[in-house]
Structure 1
Amino acid sequence: MRKTKGFTFRNIFRHPPKISLTRPRLFKAYSFVPFSPFAMLDPNILILGSIVLGIAIVERILERWGVIDLVDQFSKVMCFILPVTFYSALIYFFATFIF
């Protein structure tokens, strides 16, 4: 038969912890969230912005020509289209931006 050796709780945890033999390695940390202003040059966002800008320019030209009824209709439509376009472009930008 083998002889069983007993350990007490104090004997096990009395000794100070051993010094680690491995040295901590130095490593370079890189950011995984690169933000570049060139990310705003997405073709879809540029197309949406140019369409809205073009409609605004056409509205100003019609105002100078004196076609106030048509300008009034444009302004009623643009009050709905501009916020919808802005928020949809913002959601699209953050949905396609790689974080």
Structure 2
Amino acid sequence: MRKTHYMTFRNFLHKPSSKPSTKPRPFTAYSFVPFSPFAMLDPTILTIGGIVLGIAFIEQILNRWGVIDLADQFEKVMRFILPVTFYGALFYFFATFMF
């Protein structure tokens, strides 16, 4: 049988409790995004992306200047290079990324 502990109202208001009423539980937080978007600012990926964008920009300039034959050659090369570069950069990013 438990022993009842009596306390006056004045002591109840001015005296702190001897033990906390609830125990703190460990809280684990999970993130749905396992990496920071700033991780994509890798110099290698930025360099490869800049080169590809530069070649695409040169192709558009050649189209405007009327050098259609040379622009067509650029397009044929870029049709192969763009997917290879994209998947290569994606593979490089996940291979060098530290989880």
Q: TM-score, normalised by structure 2?
A: 0.68
2:50 & 2:56 partners in 1: Cα distance?
10
Deviation for aligned residue 1:29: 3.8
Deviation for aligned residue 1:35: 1.1
The C-alpha deviation readout for 1:42-82, integer Å capped at 9, x for no partner, is 00000010000000000000000000000010000001100
Question: Any gaps of 5 or more consecutive residues in structure 1?
Answer: 1-24
Q: Give SS of 1:56's match.
A: helix
What is the number of residues matched between the two proteins? 76
Question: With CA pairs under 8 Å and 6+ residues apart, which has the higher RCO, 1 or 2?
Answer: 1
Q: Which amino acid aligns with 2:48?
A: L
1:95 & 1:60 partners in 2: Cα distance?
33
Deviation for aligned residue 1:30: 6.3
Percent of residue pairs bearing the same amino acid type: 71
Q: Which amino acid aligns with 2:63?
A: E
Q: Pairwise CA RMSD of aligned residues?
A: 2.1
* Deviant stretches of 4+, over 6 Å: none
The match for 1:72 is 72
Question: Any gaps of 5 or more consecutive residues in structure 2?
Answer: 1-23
1:44 & 1:29 partners in 2: Cα distance?
35
Q: TM-score, normalised by structure 1?
A: 0.68
